[in-house]
Structure 1
Amino acid sequence: MLVLDTVNQYYGQSHTLRDLSLDIPTGECTVIMGRNGVGKTTLLQSIMGINPLASGRIMLDGQPIQGHSVEARPTLGLGYVPQGRQIFPLLSVQENLDIGLPMRPRGQRQIPSYIFELFPVLKDMLARRGGDLSGGQQQQLAIARALVIDPKVLLLDEPTEGIQPNVVAEIAGIIQKLNKDMGMTVVLVEQKLPFARKLADRFCILDRGQTVAQGPMEALTGDQVKAYLTV
């Protein structure tokens, strides 16, 4: 489905991704883990084209996408929920959702009905400004906005950050429905190990911009957690 092949990326003189290679299997949930500053967000931004690659390839369904612009990548089937949500606070919930409609094929530019089945609270708040929503509601809006395009791959960057526990449980359930029931491929950047274990089929641990461990989620060892994840 999604393949990164010896990807390198820099911020100025800082080498942030180093010959990073990763296979994201179709229909599975892959969690990207590691301490702060190891390149997790940079990895997702590189997939979305926000950060241009210095070298390497990113393939989606066997086709290279690194030559496509940021604006074009959603049309290829990539949905992105950035860290910190980044909704438009002065726009209504409806207007935030409508932003993705031009990425859909002509004649299909309406919000998919399943979005309001997943997020019924948003249906009751369509006229409310995004900035007036709670943090958990804003996170749900950010995920719903990414789903408007009906992505093949959903990229989620720290979706539980700053969210109250009951909403974290709701978001976990939604991600499970998207992945297990609807077959959507999910790439999840997550610091909370219990949340990752609950959702992920596979894991990839980054350290200093490199892949240092990956495999089935049940194969993650205590030594790997201690070496690369504990603070």
Structure 2
Amino acid sequence: MLKIEALNQFYGQSHTLWDVDLHVPEGQCTVLMGRNGVGKTTLLQCIMGHHAVKSGSMMLAGENLLNKSVEQRPRLGVGYVPQGRQIFPLLSVEENLEIGLPVRARGDRKIPEYIFDLFPVLNDMLHRRGGDLSGGQQQQLAIGRALVVNPKLLILDEPTEGIQPNVVSEIGDIIRKLNREMGLTVLLVEQKLPFARKVGDRFCILDRGRHVAEGEMTALNDALVKEYLTV
């Protein structure tokens, strides 16, 4: 689905991503892991076109993403849930969800009903302002907004950050359902190891801007956790 090879990215003179490779197989959930500040969010923002890439390749289902604008990437089937959710606090829940409708095909520009099946609270609070929702409800809104664009790849940047434990469990169940029952390919940045093991099929670890390990989730052993993930 998504294949990144030898990707390099700079902030000014600072080299932040070094020859990064990432393979996200179709129909699987790949978890991008690593300590704070190693380049995980930067890599996601490169995928979405928010940061320029110095060199390397980035292909989505055979399409070259690097020559596509920020606006074109959702139209190719990429849904993005950024770190911190970034919903519009003064817009209603319904208005937040409607933001993705222009990406959908003409004649199909309505909020899919299955989003309300996944997140009943959004239907209950449809006319409430996004800023009035709890953190967990805002995260559900952010995921729902990403799903409105009808993605084939869903990218989530630390969806459990600052969320109460019961909602974390619900979000994990929803990611598994989207991935394993509905066939949606998922790329997830996550630091909570139990959550990553619960939802992920594969892992990829970054360390100081470099790809250092990857494999099936069952291969994420204690040695890798100790070397690259523990604080």
Q: TM-score range by the shorter chain?
A: over 0.9
Counterpart of 1:56? 56
Distance 1:107 1:22 in 2: 35
The one-letter amino acid of 2:86's match is: Q
The one-letter amino acid of 2:162's match is: G
The one-letter amino acid of 1:101's match is: L
Shift of 1:14: 1.4
Shift of 1:100: 0.2
Distance 2:173 2:129 in 1: 25
The one-letter amino acid of 1:39's match is: G
Alignment root-mean-square deviation, CA? 0.5
Counterpart of 2:69? 69
The one-letter amino acid of 1:216's match is: E
- CA deviation vs aligned residue, 1:91-131 (integer Å, no higher than 9, x gap): 00000000000000100101111100000000011100000
Runs of 4 or more, structure 1, over 3 Å off, are: none
Q: Which runs of 5+ in 2 are unaligned?
A: none
Alignment of 1:73-222 (within 5 A): 73-222=73-222
Distance 1:122 1:14 in 2: 42
Number of equivalenced pairs: 231
- TM-score relative to the length of structure 2: 0.99
2:38 counterpart SS class? coil
Distance 2:166 2:230 in 1: 24
Shift of 1:12: 1.3
Shift of 1:5: 1.2
Distance 1:31 1:222 in 2: 17
Distance 2:107 2:197 in 1: 40
Distance 1:84 1:170 in 2: 18
2:67 counterpart SS class? coil
Distance 1:63 1:79 in 2: 16
Distance 1:175 1:3 in 2: 21
Distance 1:145 1:89 in 2: 13
Structure 1 stretch 16-25 or stretch 75-84: which is displaced more?
16-25
- CA deviation vs aligned residue, 1:161-208 (integer Å, no higher than 9, x gap): 000000001100100110000000000000000000001000000001
The one-letter amino acid of 2:183's match is: G
Shift of 1:65: 1.1
Q: Which runs of 5+ in 1 are unaligned?
A: none
1:66 counterpart SS class? helix
The one-letter amino acid of 2:61's match is: D
Shift of 1:217: 0.2
Distance 2:150 2:190 in 1: 23
Distance 1:164 1:74 in 2: 29
